Amino acid sequence: MIKQISLFFVLCVFVSMNTRAQVVEDFQPSPVNQPGSAYPQVNSEGRVRTQIMAPDAKSVQLDIGGVKYDMVKDENGLWTGESAPQDVGFHYYQLNIDGASVPDPGSLFFYGACRYGSGIEVPSDDQEIFAIKDVPHGHVHEIWFPSESTKTDRRAFVYTPPGYDKASSERYPVLYLQHGYCENETSWPVQGRANFIMDNLIAEGKARPFIIVMTYGMTNEISFGGLRNFDIKPFQTVLIDELIPYVDTNFRTLSNQENRAMAGLSMGGFETRLITLNRPDVFSYYGLFSGGVYKSEELSEHENLKLVFMSCGSKERPDGVKSAAAELKSGGINAEYYISEGTAHEFHTWRRSLHQLAQLLFK
Amino acid sequence: MIKQISLFFVLCVFVSMNTRAQVVEDFQPSPVNQPGSAYPQVNSEGRVRTQIMAPDAKSVQLDIGGVKYDMVKDENGLWTGESAPQDVGFHYYQLNIDGASVPDPGSLFFYGACRYGSGIEVPSDDQEIFAIKDVPHGHVHEIWFPSESTKTDRRAFVYTPPGYDKASSERYPVLYLQHGYCENETSWPVQGRANFIMDNLIAEGKARPFIIVMTYGMTNEISFGGLRNFDIKPFQTVLIDELIPYVDTNFRTLSNQENRAMAGLSMGGFETRLITLNRPDVFSYYGLFSGGVYKSEELSEHENLKLVFMSCGSKERPDGVKSAAAELKSGGINAEYYISEGTAHEFHTWRRSLHQLAQLLFK
């Protein structure tokens, strides 16, 4: 019995030491830190480490990916701690200081989880798809468009491709691109890096230059449990009757169905699906990123449909996307699917999905 | 003696009650809160009140205007506290939780004090100058321009007036507008609300439509004490040799001296002064907002100078600005000054200054 206990004790110490030894000490500052901030950092395993001065605190935790990791205080009151390895790509996170949930002051802030809060970038093998390279850059316009139906002026971001402002007469196709639940119109142009993905694809000759319009999908006023009762009409009115006419008046667009696409991530895919089914006359390209699938019978009367694109992370339900694409193809519809390897329901899946879809649009 | 003590005690209680009674209970959520967030709030006296759940904290403080105000915990662990009355306009602030300085998760975040952190808006009588009204809105373009001298692609924000994207041939004058020390290129288009100030002036017919370009002034890498040794050359090169040519190529500008202005706040005024003195051939309108003054002898060889504009808050040193304007006028220079009533070295002074200057430019 004593022997067994001793063995168990030795084993526990070994496991504990081994766990410590497994943290690879090659941490680097996250590229989305505040200017000049050394923390948070990420190592080659994808562990996130951060620090904060809190000399009088009893408990500080790093809260990421749904798990809270205890941090440790040194003699100066500086707390340090790290997470388990995270998937590649972008993650929202926060700190808990004696029970208060607050942003980490070391990181930049991003709109997700229904609030502006901390974000971190875990390096990926394909991160150069959204890097800021020495190539011609398009512009991201912040616009405010009038909305009769909501009695407000509403914000959208509009990406125009490199050379748009120089070219005085060229007209461009348009992708309307929606964020997910608890995100907003900043999510695609900021953490989604839609503009840099496009700049790089255009520089490589892999995508036709087009305009991207990103606005708030009015998704966040409902409870997520209330999704079945979600009424698409208010947003459909803003998008179809107010935003599209504003964009077609104020930008040099090709303003017909054949040159108009709609895509969205997660609940933005849900919205894309509903709006394209309600209004088969408006868009010719449909994209659902981790946002459901179409059945061919739903699309039987969609006359000018050029492409259905569906995607998700390999850690989501890739089989559903694959079988839906096969079913659409068997129904005579041009369908493509994409599975993001090693990622879940997060922004890296959706950056990669945009990178794929953009190469297929308007060709 | 006992009588004296009693009197003192009664007096203290009275003062204490009276102090409490002085807090006017008409607090309203700040307009720059996170979506759906009830706190922070501001009352008609300009007091800031905020709340945060921190059940295990020993001490929480509201840190605003250089003063830390103790907050009080209720039985549920919710801390509440308020500041003394603040000047009208925009203020940066933070919370201190058991010694940790963190953003208030209830507010939106703004770049100032050398980091993105919390901000609050204290209502002012003239806040409609920057309100989002039902008028035509210009666009704020996020652009990335190549910079040989720094071997980077650099970000700027470009305001184009309403109708710019519709009008296919009209060309516009340009104002280059700089932020202050520990701010960046987001400060003018976000908390400065430069775009809404312009939209409203143009709608009222009070300003000629022009373009505004806002980039990072490379101010924050130096220590503030090192200002005397500040070398303007790196930023002057970026601005004059790289950004201006990019803007003149990519936007429909009137690309000559007579249609080009430079202005800046605080250290951005200091930069404006140095650059306009080094390069009298580039700009015809100079604006210093809480950012120093010119002497007429310095400008004796500035041949195409149309206007010198100097301003500050009434709580700064208005006499210096007034006497400098008088001295310039006596030297035959078209000089104007503006004093922002009731404000100090903060963004409301500078919003009002832009509102004044914009009405004088390019006329």
What per-residue confidence (pLDDT) applies to B166? 77
CB contact under 8 A, A116 and B132: no
Share of chain B above pLDDT 70, in %: 92
CB contact under 8 A, A139 and B142: yes
Q: What is the mean pLDDT of residues A263-286?
A: 98
Q: Is residue A150 predicted with pLDDT exceeding 70?
A: yes
Name the CATH superfamily housing domain B27-123: Immunoglobulins (2.60.40.10)
Q: What is the mean pLDDT of residues A328-348?
A: 97
Residue of B nearest to A162 (CA): B250
Which residues contact residue A302 at a Cβ distance below 8 angstroms, ignoring those fewer than 6 apart?
Answer: A276, A280
Within 8 A of B195 by CB-CB distance, chain A residues are 142
In the A/B pair of chains, how many CB contacts fall below 8 A?
A: 146
CA distance B36 to chain A (A): 9
Within 8 A of B99 by CB-CB distance, chain A residues are 53-57, 77
Which residues contact residue B128 at a Cβ distance below 8 angstroms, ignoring those fewer than 6 apart?
Answer: B200
Question: Is the Cα dihedral B111, B115, B118, B120 positive or negative?
Answer: negative
Q: CATH 3.40.50.1820 occupies which residues in chain B?
A: 128-358
Within 8 A of A132 by CB-CB distance, chain B residues are 144, 153
Q: Which of B53, B165, B216, B247 to mutate to test the interface with A (most CBs of A within 10 A)?
A: B165
Which residues contact residue A221 at a Cβ distance below 8 angstroms, ignoring those fewer than 6 apart?
Answer: none
Within 8 A of A169 by CB-CB distance, chain B residues are 168
* Domain range B128-358, CATH architecture: 3-Layer(aba) Sandwich (3.40)
> pLDDT for A61-112, tens place per residue?
999 999 999 999 999 999 999 999 999 999 999 999 999 999 999 999 999 9
> pLDDT for B231-263, tens place per residue?
999 999 999 999 999 999 999 999 999 999 999
> pLDDT for B143-197, tens place per residue?
999 999 999 999 999 999 999 987 678 999 999 999 999 999 999 999 999 999 9
Within 8 A of A250 by CB-CB distance, chain B residues are 165-166
At B50, is the pLDDT very low, low, confident or very high (cuts 50, 70, 90)? very high
CB contact under 8 A, A97 and B95: no
Identity of the residue in B34, B114, B184 whose CB atom sits nearest the CB atom of A116: B34
In the numeric block, the tokens 């949930």 are attached to A101
Within 8 A of A92 by CB-CB distance, chain B residues are none
pLDDT higher for B3 or B271?
B271
> pLDDT for B288-328, tens place per residue?
999 999 999 999 999 999 999 999 999 999 999 999 999 99
Within 8 A of B220 by CB-CB distance, chain A residues are 35
Q: CATH 2.60.40.10 occupies which residues in chain A?
A: 25-123
CA distance B135 to chain A (A): 9
Q: Which of B34, B39, B56 to mutate to test the interface with A (most CBs of A within 10 A)?
A: B56
Does domain A25-123 correspond to CATH entry 2.60.40.10?
A: yes
What per-residue confidence (pLDDT) applies to A16? 44
pLDDT higher for A223 or A131?
A131
Return the ∠ at Cα A86 (arms to A30 and A123), rounded to 5°.
40
What per-residue confidence (pLDDT) applies to A165? 80
Within 8 A of A55 by CB-CB distance, chain B residues are 98-99
CB contact under 8 A, B57 and A114: no
What per-residue confidence (pLDDT) applies to B15? 44
CA distance A211 to chain B (A): 14
| Cα-based distances in Å from B154 to B45, B148, B198, B213, B215 | 42, 10, 24, 13, 8
Q: Is residue B10 predicted with pLDDT exceeding 60?
A: no
DSSP A319: H
Q: CATH 2.60.40.10 occupies which residues in chain B?
A: 27-123
pLDDT higher for A25 or B225?
A25
CB contact under 8 A, A142 and B146: no
What per-residue confidence (pLDDT) applies to A166? 77
CB contact under 8 A, A109 and B105: no
Share of chain A above pLDDT 90, in %: 89
